[in-house]
Amino acid sequence: MDQMSNVTHKYLRPKKSFPNVWCPGCGIGIAMGAMIRAIDGLGLDKNQVAVVSGIGCTARIPVYLDFNTLHTTHGRPLAFATGVKLANPKMKVIVVSGDGDLLAIGGNHFIHAARRNMDITCILVNNYIYGMTGGQYSPTTPFKKLSSTGPYGMIEQSFDPAELARTAGATFVARGTVFHASQLSRLMSQAINRHGFSFVEVISNCHTQYGRLNREGSAVKMIQWQKDHAVPVSVAAKKTPEELEDKFITGVLYEQEKPGYVEEYQKIIDRFSRESTESMVRVTES
């Protein structure tokens, strides 16, 4: 076993991990490995970490992991994660789910968690489709691309998840791919290390649904596509909009310091507990 998989295996639940539900070659396994190495590299105790997901292929990740885990209802991981974080502010809370889960049924939770600058890391595996349920289109399915519910091509415009996160209020926004697994792990590590709503979009492949419907070929070919279309932030800065037209930018896209909900909420609790202790002292003394 090489060093990489040694680390991964330390965090897998022995009885739950194999066989897993993913199609051979699916990028979700790479995203999970990158996430595990990020957590391991930060030296976090397993008990200090909660991993929360909704429903979908991506959302199976926590099922296999030996942290505090919650596999919740479709679209609701950020709501559950908010509860976990407020109940235990010391916990590192990581949400990992698909583009359908987080941006369609869960879209409202997504924008409000970002707006509140909730101290959660949100990892969105973007495979441009609903993988688990048969290739229905999602809010990230690109214009004209085929899906089982859009057999004549997507007629809606799609979300750019990273841009949506930034404009909604996220204070750390990054994008990586499953081809660039080491960079992806570093981006996740930076995101987990931050206070506030940190967001990582992971460009991944669903060759079984999206790839098959759009004739994009095997898992290998789709992952090769990521390599050919990813442009690092520093390189993108020197390119014209025309040169970037069919490309996507990777790396840390945005960072900002802003007060977060969890700290502000804690200040209120501290203030009222101080005031009620002081008034109890006054009552006892009078």
Binding site for ligand TPP (CB under 6 A): 55-58, 74, 97-101, 125, 127, 129-133, 138, 206
Sheet architecture: strand order including 230-232: 68-71, 49-53, 92-98, 121-126, 198-203, 172-177, 248-255, 230-232
CA pair distance 193, 275, nearest whole angstrom: 33
Is residue 103 within 8 A of residue 139, CB to CB? The reply is: yes
For residue 26, the partner it binds in ligand TPP, ligand SF4, none, with Cβ less than 5 to 8 A by kind, is ligand SF4
In DSSP terms, 69 is beta-bridged to 51
Q: What's the min distance (Å) between Cβ of 226 and ligand TPP? A: 16
Q: Is 131 in the site for ligand SF4 (CB under 6 A)?
A: yes
Which is closer to ligand TPP, CB of 114 or CB of 129?
129
Q: What's the min distance (Å) between Cβ of 216 and ligand TPP? A: 15
Task: List the x/- string, 43-72, binding to ligand SF4 by CB under 6 A.
Answer: --------------x---------------
- Measure the CA angle with vertex 27, ends 25 and 30; round to 5°: 105
Q: Which residue has the tokens 């502010």?
A: 89
For residue 208, the partner it binds in ligand TPP, ligand SF4, none, with Cβ less than 5 to 8 A by kind, is ligand SF4
Which is closer to ligand TPP, CB of 127 or CB of 189?
127
- Measure the CA angle with vertex 160, ends 156 and 164; round to 5°: 115
Task: Single out the residue of 164, 122, 166 nearest to residue 255, CA to CA.
Answer: 166
Which is closer to ligand SF4, CB of 167 or CB of 224?
224
Q: What's the min distance (Å) between Cβ of 132 and ligand TPP? A: 4
For residue 138, the partner it binds in ligand SF4, ligand TPP, none, with Cβ less than 5 to 8 A by kind, is ligand TPP
Residue 89 DSSP label: T
Which is closer to ligand SF4, CB of 68 or CB of 97?
97
Residue 283 DSSP label: H
Interacting residue ranges for ligand SF4, rule: CB under 6 A? 22-23, 26, 28, 57, 127, 131-132, 206-209
